[in-house]
Amino acid sequence: MAGPFEGPFQGSIEREAILARIAAHPIEGGPEARRRAFAELVLGDHAPGTPYDSISIAGEGGTIVYLHGGGYAFGSPRSHERIGAALAEATGLGVVLPVYPLAPEHPWPVQLEAAVATVEEADGPVVLAGDSAGGHLALVTALELGRRGVDVAGVILFSPNTDRSGLSSTRARNEASDPMVDDEGDTELARQCFGDLPLDDLEVSPLLADLGSLPPLLLEVGRDEVLLDDSLLLAEAARAAGVPVTLHVEPEGLHMMQLWAPWWDVAAASLERAATFASEVTGARRRA
């Protein structure tokens, strides 16, 4: 298996190189075609699609449980291993990137059940993290654990899906500026996972839930993303519920921008902020 920092780029890159790669690797077709296309986009043109195993990176002082994005339909621990490896290297904490069942073969809530089980088995303190649909899963998992009285030290969300009830204005306004997400495609993926659950169901749209049990929260999102409001509205609601919130809106950011570290300085800076946050909430000594 290739190392975590191998991939489609060599050396530092600019935003335009990522845009060109995204344009050349559309995520389309049936479930297996989408999984292979996403793997090739992120890992290289000869990457296998599925299956992948969970990835555990040893550390001490606590655990970051990282839940990969991909619309609940694609992505894997391997596609997001670079993110996990960077966080482990910067913090010294253990990092677990679990496999969870994908839709449409496995509808909700098996993803939530798998995430809760992973946290319950992790060495604490635990930081929950995830991007896009993985950010949604991290948020819903944190809320479920709060209802169960299970402590989580912090939550890191990279461009999460948080609301499908219609409150967002950027799902329409930013479609032309977001090369990774359009509302129609995002809605299709959600339907595959959530089926006939109402759009205002608290697990489909956790923005509407009681957020008061959440631990400190870090949100990172790009200014021109379709899901920008999903982060802005969550930050506002969480603060109103008394949750400590750190929000960074990146002017140059792209959806799932963290996938492009270490080559893109914008992505690397986002992971640096996440590593600092994880170290602070767990009490771990931040590595230089």
- Residue 48 placed within a domain: no
- Residue 14 placed within a domain: no
pTM above 0.95, yes or no: yes
Q: Distance (Å, rounded) from C-alpha 61 to C-alpha 59?
A: 7
Q: Distance (Å, rounded) from C-alpha 248 to C-alpha 258?
A: 13
- Residue 12 placed within a domain: no
Count of alpha carbons within 13 angstroms of residue 19, beta-carbon side: 9
Q: What is the pLDDT of residue 117?
A: 97
- Residue 112 placed within a domain: yes
Q: Distance (Å, rounded) from C-alpha 175 to C-alpha 258?
A: 20
- Residue 9 placed within a domain: no
Q: What is the pLDDT of residue 255?
A: 98
- Residue 47 placed within a domain: no
Report, in angstroms and rounded to the nearest whole number, the Rg of the chain calculated over CA atoms: 17
- CATH classification at residue 204: 3.40.50.1820
Q: What is the pLDDT of residue 181?
A: 97
80 noted as active-site residue: no
Q: Which residue has tokens 């043109």?
A: 45
144, 220, 225, 250: the active-site residue: 225
Q: What is the pLDDT of residue 1?
A: 39
* Contact of 14 with 260, CB cutoff 8 Å: no
76, 79, 132, 231: the active-site residue: 132
Q: What is the 3-state secondary structure (H, E, C) of the chain?
A: CCCCCCCCCCCCCCHHHHHHHHHHCCCCCCHHHHHHHHHHHHHCCCCCCCCCCCEEECCCCCEEEEECCCCCCCCCCCCCHHHHHHHHHHHCCEEEECCCCCCCCCCCCHHHHHHHHHHHHCCCCEEEEEECHHHHHHHHHHHHHHHCCCCCCEEEEECCCCCCCCCCCHHHHCHHHCCCCCHHHHHHHHHHHHCCCCCCCCCCCHHHCCCCCCCCEEEEEECCCCCHHHHHHHHHHHHHCCCCEEEEEECCCCCCHHHHCCCCHHHHHHHHHHHHHHHHHHCCCCCC
- Residue 253 placed within a domain: yes
Note down the domain range covering 223.
Answer: 54-282
46 noted as active-site residue: no
The amino acid at residue 140 is V
Block mean pLDDT (10 aa), the chain, length 288: 73 97 96 93 78 90 98 96 97 97 97 97 96 98 96 98 97 96 96 97 98 98 98 98 98 98 98 98 79
Task: Please give the span between the terminal C-alpha atoms of the chain, in angstroms, as a whole number.
Answer: 28
Q: What is the pLDDT of residue 284?
A: 80
* pLDDT tens per residue across span 59-108: 999 999 999 999 999 999 999 999 999 999 999 999 999 999 999 999 99
Q: Which residue has tokens 């992790």?
A: 122
> What's the number of domains the chain is made of?
1
- Residue 164 placed within a domain: yes
68, 80, 136, 255: the active-site residue: 255
* Contact of 244 with 7, CB cutoff 8 Å: no
14 noted as active-site residue: no
Q: Distance (Å, rounded) from C-alpha 118 to C-alpha 246?
A: 25
Q: What is the pLDDT of residue 287?
A: 66
